[in-house]
Structure 1
Amino acid sequence: MTWPFIIVAALVTSFISGIFGMAGGLILMGVLALLLPVSTAMVTHGAIQSVSNGWRAILWRDFIDWRVLGIYLGGSVAAFALLIGIAFEVSKPWLFIILGLVPSLVWIPKRHLHLDARRPDHAVFCGFAVTGLNIVAGVSGPLLDIFFVADGMDRRSIVATKASTQVAAHAAKIAFYLAPALAGGDLTEWPWLLAAAPLAIIGTTLGARVLNLMSDADFRKYTKWIVTGVGLIYVIRGVILLS
């Protein structure tokens, strides 16, 4: 019953991602970590989120900042090259704790960081840090969001460009965890992912329609509170598993 439940979760969380971006991926990672071994959860999450983010990028392709994306990819490749030689896998309790702490990044006052993905040096650091965190924790949306809070950025450009960068980050995560997931024999039911892919596209498409009706202010406000609430649940779950 695990994989049918996962494809339903893919539909629901892709709908949430279509509206709030990182919130859907954060929720899905928690569901997968609850049901699957860590390496399998990472690969499955990466596959579903690659489809969801890829389709969202296609839907909003006219708003992608291609210059930012290109520079970001340079940092992303550097992070993957650095981590590929390191063999590690975070334990499930600590995975939940890290997942829960990641959303706290959205509360850092932007006046203390002044990060802007439109600046080349910030964009390459964004690619390095976001891809690295995505490989370690499975999600990196709240960190990515710090680089896209500068004034003057349209919400559709934010969603489109972030979705494009996340495709690269999830691809790196899949490449990192695929071997241990296959070695553990946990991907024998991988055809279920083929069913999850179109559902991710449907959910993202429906979510994009809701996003189009929201204001920039509401988009930022609701995203912050949703990911914070989910993060608190994850920290509690991780602490319980450690005890």
Structure 2
Amino acid sequence: MTLPLTVAFFAVVFLTSALSGIFGMAGGLILLGCLLLALPASVAIVVHGVIQLASNGSRAWLSRQYIAPRIVALIASGGAVSAVALAWLGYHPDVTIVSLLIGVMPVLVWIPRRWFHFDASRPGHALACGVIAGGLTIAAGVSGPTIDLFFIRTGMDRRQIVATKAAVQVIAHAIKIIFYAGSALALSAGQWGAIALAVPVAFLGTRAGNGVLRRLSNAHFRYWTRWIVTVVGAVYLVQGLMAL
């Protein structure tokens, strides 16, 4: 990559990691969109997975005392089931499919909570969350809004939600990287070098966002999450429809 492009890449990684550090998602949606502008879908998903693995890993570490390990284990198990199923089907993404899938996800954050009775603290629901969100993570690269549906009735506060989701996403991105490992061969040594250097940048961004999260109220957290995800999703939806 050229120097200006590398600098722009680092800036996007920092800002999107900070955004995810605050809201637990949204940053990953934006980062994937930027990567899709320059890379094939499967390659973009791998790079996105590596950066988000670092971002979510640092977020999970910084908030480790708030993680609910049982929920993480159950959701991760469901995600593994989806990975096996998609591998058996020979799934391969393209930009149009990814854009359309992500574009419709924000609809979920506007559906009234009373319509849903999902609760990630219940074993069956956590496993279902893993199957659904795990499948979307591999198929579209992200699944944040879907995971949220299973946390709205848990009674967890914003710190517990962000921490537990971060731990879940660490495992989900690891599975995604393994699923598309063959696509990583399309990247040059120089590109992988830039990605490796972006890992500490993601950590710094997450740390900055975590500081903002501590000062944010639960009401503001939910309000801004909803609007940011909706705007990003609308952009993806328009791109996907134009590509049809």
Q: Distance in 2 between matches of 1:60 and 1:30?
A: 27
Q: Deviations over 1:117-136 (max 9, x none)?
A: 00110011111111110000
| Structure 1 length-normalised TM | 0.94
Please say if 1:26 is aligned against 2:25: no
Distance apart, 1:6 and its partner CA:
2.2
Q: Distance in 1 between matches of 2:9 and 2:75?
A: 31
Alignment match, 1:232: 234
Residue 207 of structure 1, aligned match among 206, 209, 217? 209
Distance apart, 1:241 and its partner CA:
2.7
Q: Distance in 2 between matches of 1:121 and 1:231?
A: 29
Q: Deviations over 1:179-219 (max 9, x none)?
A: 1331xx23442111111100000000000000100111110
**Residue pair 1:4, 1:192 contacting (<8 A) in 2 also:** no
- Runs of 5+ unmatched residues, structure 2: none
Distance apart, 1:239 and its partner CA:
2.1
- Runs of 5+ unmatched residues, structure 1: none
Percent sequence identity is 46
State the AA in 1 paired with 2:11: V
Moved over 3 A (4+): 1-4
Distance apart, 1:84 and its partner CA:
2.0
Alignment match, 1:191: 193
Please say if 1:107 is aligned against 2:110: yes
Please say if 1:222 is aligned against 2:224: yes
Distance apart, 1:42 and its partner CA:
0.5
| Structure 2 length-normalised TM | 0.94
Q: Distance in 2 between matches of 1:53 and 1:150?
A: 23
**Residue pair 1:100, 1:231 contacting (<8 A) in 2 also:** yes
Alignment match, 1:57: 60
Q: Distance in 2 between matches of 1:165 and 1:85?
A: 23
Distance apart, 1:3 and its partner CA:
4.3
Q: Distance in 1 between matches of 2:137 and 2:155?
A: 27
Q: Distance in 2 between matches of 1:116 and 1:22?
A: 19
Q: CA RMSD in A?
A: 1.4
Please say if 1:17 is aligned against 2:17: no
State the AA in 1 paired with 2:118: L
Residue 9 of structure 2, aligned match among 6, 9, 13? 6
Please say if 1:153 is aligned against 2:173: no
Q: Counterparts in 2 of 1:87-166, with a 5 A limit?
A: 87-150=90-153, 152-166=155-169
**Residue pair 1:76, 1:127 contacting (<8 A) in 2 also:** yes
SS of equivalent residue, structure 1 residue 22: coil
State the AA in 2 paired with 1:207: G
State the AA in 1 paired with 2:231: G
**Residue pair 1:116, 1:149 contacting (<8 A) in 2 also:** yes
| Residues 151/218 of structure 1: CA separation in 2 closer, same or farther (3 Å cut) | farther
Distance apart, 1:151 and its partner CA:
5.6
Q: Distance in 2 between matches of 1:205 and 1:70?
A: 25
Alignment match, 1:241: 243
